[in-house]
Structure 1
């Protein structure tokens, strides 16, 4: 097992309480479209949850997120659905607007957490209003370098938040008090903003889901080619063009037209990237989501993610959601908690592709490709759908 995971497990015995054994064991239906190490991490989290609580999971795995989305649309339109779904954040607004995703645990509306020994999930489900879990709030789990602010906006100067545009991006609530009509601005990062709902009545943000892993489109030259062509690094778009001109057609990009990946899991590709029909092992430059880099390293061991001025990649954040239609709310929230622990996040990211969303895991993560951390924390943007 990964050493970082073991280190977290040792810490976890001090930080988190054990899940409560279910008084009346139940069966939760859980949907996902995971693969690779995230699927392995999900399976191990599911096994821990079943062993520790006595509950049972009925897992439905879809081929891809498009298939999952379509099935969830049918279910929600019929007034039902799984208890828990794992999917990327760009799908959430549709189901939030349909009422299937709602803020979990509002003050005064969460009787399960009112007692002297609230369940372990209460702090994360209420953003700290209930419970005392040390990593159960946005502020405690956020990656500080990804804090929501004007530099994370899609438009320069956060113009989309400074107007009365309709629809106004939801993340504008979390940019700054100067651009938000709210009385206060919560501490949360750009990853969490896609899983948070602002509640005017409580003047605060409350989770309706929780982020687990994130991904972004990276530009990575081969270190050996950089040195061969006399470059120390690639810092600007002009540098990239100059670098690629040294070996005509030497770039390789994984994308289909304007977007990389299948709908609804896709990344917008910068317009200045040239696709090149070269064998992978001959590539000078790779443009691909971080989630693909683990598989690429076998052919290109010298990849190094570049922090390029003006390259502001969008992000995809995979997370877990307990649906509002669940009849087993406590068990569903407890399983969401288990999926979001740093232990699960580190294991799912251990192949060096996806990145953990919880800062405790992020700071312990072993980045497979040099430069990944720097390019991610400096460059990623919020999405209008947040």
Structure 2
């Protein structure tokens, strides 16, 4: 018997179908909404002491980005390089990585770091003009931007105001000649008295002075370490040892030597400000920081750390949001409060905590004239090779030109391997 459905019944069926469709559509909509609200967890690898403080900043980021959680993994600096190599090989690693400035070339060359260039418009906090030029240089490799500056350090002159005034310097030395003269006069005070500390383990020191003397260090595939500008800088540094203005092996740490006046001048980074204030409070008002003395210029070295996004991250958007947050001036000022690390963001330096601090303010001035060491893969090895050559000069009295000829040949071989 043929089934017949009345128009009224058909209408009722159609109404039911439409109602069910609405319910299903609502479920689908709710599912999409729930999906959007799902929490994304990004893994951040932090190195050394910074990693211990990073969760404090990450908590603030999470409050502003409720759907993103940050998991910080602390990795010792001496283990970090090998761990990163393993991550590159397996294509399994963190979403965000803290990178030492000298590591960028190696890992960018290996394809481990995401090029941030396509994202600069969407994330304006990452724009290169927000940061000191020297800091930006440390993030570049060939045609890509492989990271964003996080915090910086540079080198300035620390000096005892009271002791320099006693030898005729009411202000810090402003030129190479003045630095040499002041060091000689301070060393002439008597036995076991010196003028300045020249840190022979600071691998960037001679390269920094060479730049002040007009050296380009490296030109393409050609090393320039045996040319006049570089050789003169090495001779200048060695001169402090030769005339007794600087000790070769003092046998005492720099802080007590600075406190007792044995070493009234030294060149170092921002971390020494807190150390001096904490360990020698009785020196308050008797010491200061100054931009480096100049020859042709007073260029200082520039270091610090960058933040990069791992090329194989599955959480690209969340990782970029985290980098953007860490790049904000107010975030970098907060990081300064927590860790005493200097901001890479130029606007952050307008904060009164920096402008009203006589010691840190000098670092901001020096950052206007600071450059990283050459951003090339083999430079670390070149710098270590120099330290061996320089030791022959200051410890054994080897001829500077001869040693630099030999060092230059070794450096060129390293560069062109």
Alignment TM-score, normalising by the size of structure 1:
0.65
Q: Tell me whether 1:291 sits opposite 2:271 in the alignment.
A: yes
Preserved contact between residue 254 and residue 288 of structure 1 (Cα < 8 Å): no
Preserved contact between residue 101 and residue 303 of structure 2 (Cα < 8 Å): yes
> Deviating runs (4+, > 4 A) in structure 1?
266-271
Q: Could you tell me how far apart the structure 1 residues matched to 2:365 and 2:174 are? A: 12
Q: Which of 295, 307, 310 does residue 292 from structure 2 map onto? A: 307
Aligned-pair Cα RMSD in Å? 3.0
Residue 314 (structure 1) shift: 1.7
Alignment-derived partner of residue 219 in structure 1: 157
- Secondary structure of the structure 2 residue equivalent to 1:361: helix
Q: Could you tell me how far apart the structure 2 residues matched to 1:34 and 1:344 are? A: 20
Deviations 1:216-271 (A, max 9, x none): 122222111221211133011221121122232434648453537xxxxx996755
Q: Tell me whether 1:61 sits opposite 2:87 in the alignment.
A: no
Alignment-derived partner of residue 46 in structure 2: 32
Residue 339 (structure 1) shift: 1.7
Alignment-derived partner of residue 90 in structure 2: 78
Residue 289 (structure 1) shift: 1.7
What does 1:120-139 align with in structure 2 at a 5 Å threshold? Answer: 126-128=119-121, 130=122, 133=124, 135-139=125-129
Q: Could you tell me how far apart the structure 2 residues matched to 1:259 and 1:268 are? A: 8
Larger radius of gyration: 2
What does 1:306-325 align with in structure 2 at a 5 Å threshold? Answer: 306-310=291-295, 311-325=298-312
Equivalent pairs, count: 283
- Secondary structure of the structure 2 residue equivalent to 1:350: helix
- Secondary structure of the structure 1 residue equivalent to 2:134: coil
Preserved contact between residue 157 and residue 290 of structure 2 (Cα < 8 Å): yes
| Cα 1:351–1:325 shift into 2, 3 Å | closer
Residue 99 (structure 1) shift: 0.6
Q: Which of 250, 253, 265 does residue 194 from structure 2 map onto? A: 250
Q: Could you tell me how far apart the structure 2 residues matched to 1:258 and 1:34 are? A: 19
Q: Give ranges in structure 1 of 5+ residues lacking alignment.
A: 1-20, 107-125, 144-188, 200-205, 261-265
Residue 198 (structure 1) shift: 6.3
- Secondary structure of the structure 2 residue equivalent to 1:324: coil
What does 1:54-203 align with in structure 2 at a 5 Å threshold? Answer: 54-64=67-77, 66-104=78-116, 106=118, 126-128=119-121, 130=122, 133=124, 135-139=125-129, 141-143=130-132, 189-196=133-140, 199=143
Alignment-derived partner of residue 366 in structure 2: 375
Alignment-derived partner of residue 240 in structure 1: 179
Which structure's residues are more often helix, by fraction? 2
Q: Give ranges in structure 2 of 5+ residues lacking alignment.
A: 1-34, 188-192, 210-233, 241-245, 377-417
Deviations 1:335-386 (A, max 9, x none): 11122221221122237953211111022234451633333323x1243216
Residue 209 (structure 1) shift: 1.4
